[in-house]
Structure 1
Amino acid sequence: MTQHILEKLAATNPEAEIWWDSSPLVYPSWKAESLAKAPEAKRAEWEEQLTRLYDNATIKQSGEMGFRGVTTNPPLSLQAVQLDPAGWTQLVKDIAASDRALDVEGVYWKMYLELVKRGADAIRPVFEKSGYKYGMLSGQVDPRFVTDGEAMLAQGLTIAAMGDNVMVKLPGSKEGYEVLEELTARGISTNNTTSFAVAQYTRCRAAVTAGLQRAQAAGVDLSKWRSVITHMSSRLGEKGDWKVQAKARGIELSLDEIRDGEEAVLKRAYWQGKNTGHPSKMLQCSMRVEKDKDGKTVSRHVQDFAGSDMVYTCPPSYILQLMEVEDELAPFDPKAIEREPNPASVEKLMKLPSFRQAYEFEGMKPNEFAQFGAFQATATEFAAATRQTVDFVRMVMEG
């Protein structure tokens, strides 16, 4: 058996986890498309590896899969709809016919909940077989309401009701963390998203701790509870204000220096959690495959963190990229997580207000989280994908 490159990453720490960053519903079609593109010499090997990572028949039969969990977000949910427009068109019609009082937004919300439920049901055997440790799916509250605590709480409770293996994905806004504490107090698993900064992660951990204390005091069952904290790696350096602020100050930033900064932020957050023994687990998303300054193919977002016990949630496109360049990548170093980020890069980046906001323990106050550049850019993108999905529903209902 030849290990998949992500299996090699997971092997650097027995508690490391690889998750699928898309709806499970799209995996079979993506797998078929990927195998069609595979080099002839590697096609059989790729098929074996991809089947090991996720296979519906194996999950039903043995409750096992290579992935340890699943995350979704609005663009990925839209992708699932676009891959099967006929099926989702029929569902929209059925929902609208079952309740004539529902408007477009109401039908959209029911469709989204069905998308979450179908995905969670698909991996439920893994959840049960693992003693509720693995096999969770994250369903996200509407990104159009990132500062509306009341709306997010109502949606979070509804999403959680789709299955006990559903995690509620909440934004890293002041209001998002308040809702996160409330859901934790009710024993509901959470995933903190749209988060980029150490100050956000500190606030998230405090919310989780407060929620757990309330849950324990009330005798709430926590046997199926988990918490992950998402760091959106490349979005921090690419969607935020680092480049703009550097240019304004006459500072030239290379891609390597940007990646050094992203590494510094996540390692600081990771070790903060490990050193305090906090139950929330860091989760990394938004990874990239690229060339470094020497022209070498790298994926530093995973290579720099090998040996950690964090979660790496990988979208279909990234997994395929890794497979295509695997022979060009250096082997994973199990000690990579212990390496200090480049101090010269950190010193240079500290001249940028937006880097200090992300890196310093008190770089932002909670009411500033939703104004952070990378937060706003990502929330805007996610809201646009949501509107596009709502428009799909509207067009179906308009006939």
Structure 2
Amino acid sequence: MSSLTQTPGPLLTATQKFPTVLWNDSSDLDELRQSISFGGVGATCNPVIAYTTISKHPDIWAPRIKAIAEGNPTWTESQIGWQAVKDMSVEAAKLLEPAFAEHQGRNGRLSMQTDPRYYRDAQALSDQAVEFSELAPNIVVKVPATATGIEAIEDATYRGVSMNVTVSFSVPQAVRSAEAIERGLKRREAEGLDVSTMGPVVTIMVGRLDDWMKSVVARDGIYLDPSALEWAGVAAFKKAYGIFRERGFRSRLLSAAFRNVLQWSEFQGGDVVVSPPFAWQKIINASDYEPTARMDEPVDPHYIEQLRRIPDFNRAYDEDGMTPEEFISFGPTAKTLRQFLGADEQLDQLVRDLLTPAP
């Protein structure tokens, strides 16, 4: 039987049954084309993804990076690398234009991440968000959920940028970010500016919250049912979803940083974005799982009780568990920011090796 006549897999079935949408956690064009065939209507790029994609396709990107350098002889390695990221993002965004038109701006988005080196400068983050949003009509721009980032998120939203809040792992980060987007949208509306095609999302990196809980339990010798540790991110996401619906936030939640299939299956039926890496999409789509609506199913109270033994889970799960000033020192935030900063350094090194090879 040809692939054109096969029964749709679980990913496509889910997108047909539920308002839950699929975005690909990569801007690799080959992966994105396949994800679109699975029902995908969005994609993302960040420093780690960009570096990985360029490294994976040196035959494509090495000559392109050299051409960028030749055309801009005074540019730094960072400027050259970031131009490659911009080019990659614009090309991925082009593949999503049909979905963007079909969904009137709510989907069909390509997420671009602001330079992590700007994480202390709200104005620089907002200005770069505006720059990136003008590269293609269907760009949504990532800014981290720190106190500085939240300031930038409100300002960029007011300036007409559809935001994707990132480096976000907790209910307090998600709620404060959604509130900032609402303030930005209301400021636009008060001035008669259009918001009808804006498509903001607020990410919770569910798997990275799980990772942090596991590291804290190991570090501090906390005794609990280990199966509960697979549910921390799911629990935070579902808690935030209830708050978003109750308060009528116009942002949608986005689940990212997959570590297990619960981080897809438990969110089906919700009006949310689920963004698995392509490798996870292949695993899910090759399975015989029948998607069912589970977003409104609460996490087993036993798991919540077990997770409550971890102080950092309470900080992540309770709406008032952290202040915005505390976000940047929360373990997953610090680790992820450092990873993104490191990926920028790796991209600089990659450009250096191409332009000035070691003798």
Q: TM (normalized to structure 2)?
A: 0.91
Q: Which residue of 1 aligns with 2:311?
A: 353
For 1:338, the aligned partner's letter is D
Q: 1:172 aligns with which of 142, 145, 157?
A: 145
Which amino acid is the alignment partner of residue 20 of structure 2? Answer: A
Equivalent residue, structure 2, for 1:321? 283
How far apart are residue 311 of structure 1 and its match? 0.7
Q: How does 1:86-125 map to 2 (within 5 A)?
A: 86-125=59-98
What is the CA distance between 1:132 and its match in structure 2? Answer: 2.5
Q: Does the C-alpha gap of structure 1 residues 160 and 250 become closer, same or farther in structure 2, counting only changes over 3 Å?
A: closer
Q: In 2, are the aligned partners of 1:24 and 1:70 still within 8 Å (CA)?
A: no
SS in 1 for 2:75: coil
User: Residue in 2 aligned with 1:207?
Assistant: 180
List, as ranges, runs of 4+ consecutive aligned residues in structure 1 with deviation greater than 4 Å: none
2:220 counterpart residue number: 248
CA displacement, residues 33-90 of structure 1 (integer Å, 9 cap, x when unaligned): xxxxxxxxxxxxxxxxx6733xxxxxxxxxxxx2111122222212221232133222
CA contact (8 A) 1:164 1:224 kept: no
Partner of 2:263: 301
Is residue 276 of structure 1 aligned with residue 247 of structure 2?
A: yes
Match of 1:284, SS state, is strand
1:228 to 180, 189, 201: 201
Report the AA paired with residue 170 of structure 2: A
Residues 263/125 of structure 1: CA separation in 2 closer, same or farther (3 Å cut): closer
Is the CA contact 2:106–2:197 (under 8 Å) kept in the aligned structure 1? yes
Kindly state the Cα deviation for residue 170 of structure 1 after the two structures are TM-superposed: 0.9
Q: Deviations over 1:287-334 (max 9, x none)?
A: 234xxxxxxxxx21122222212111121111122234x13x4x3332
Give the Cα–Cα distance (whole angstroms) in 2 for the partners of residues 359 and 346 of structure 1. 10
Preserved CA contact (<8 Å) 2:130 2:159: no
CA contact (8 A) 1:241 1:374 kept: no
Counterpart Cα distance in 1 of 2:271 and 2:213 = 30
Tell me if structure 2 keeps the 8 A contact 1:147–1:174: no
Give the gaps of 5 or more residues in structure 1.
Answer: 32-49, 54-65, 290-298
Say yes or no: does 1:263 pair with 2:221: no
Residue 21 of structure 1 aligns with which residue? 25
Determine which of 104, 121, 140 is the counterpart of 2:113. 140
Instruction: Tell me which moved more, 151-160 or 350-359.
Output: 151-160
Native 8 Å contact 2:206 2:263 kept in 1: yes
C-alpha spacing 1:269/1:396, structure 2 compared with 1 (3 Å):
same
Sequence identity of aligned pairs in percent? 28
Q: Given the superposition, is the C-alpha separation of residues 110 and 247 from structure 1 closer, same or farther in structure 2, using an over 3 Å criterion?
A: closer
Following superposition, the deviation at residue 104 of structure 1 comes to: 1.3
Report the CA distance between 1:338 and its aligned residue. Answer: 2.0
Taking a change above 3 Å as real, the CA distance of residues 344 and 241 of structure 1, as seen in their structure-2 partners, is closer
Q: Is the 8 A contact 1:230 1:285 kept in 2?
A: yes
1:7 equivalent in structure 2:
12
Task: Give the secondary structure class of the aligned counterpart of 1:371.
Answer: coil
Match for residue 3 of structure 2? Answer: none
Q: How do 1:65-80 residues align onto structure 2 when only pairs under 5 Å count?
A: 66-80=39-53
Change in 2 beyond 3 A, CA 1:241/1:257 = closer
Structure 2 portions without partners, runs of 5+? 1-5
Aligned counterpart for 1:338 among listed residues 296, 299, 312 = 296
> Taking structure 1 as the reference length, what is the TM-score of the superposition?
0.82
Distance in 1 between residues matched to 2:283 and 2:117, nearest whole Å: 31
**Distance in structure 1 (CA, Å) of the matches to 2:98 and 2:234:** 35
Q: Report the residue type matching 1:114 in the other structure.
A: D
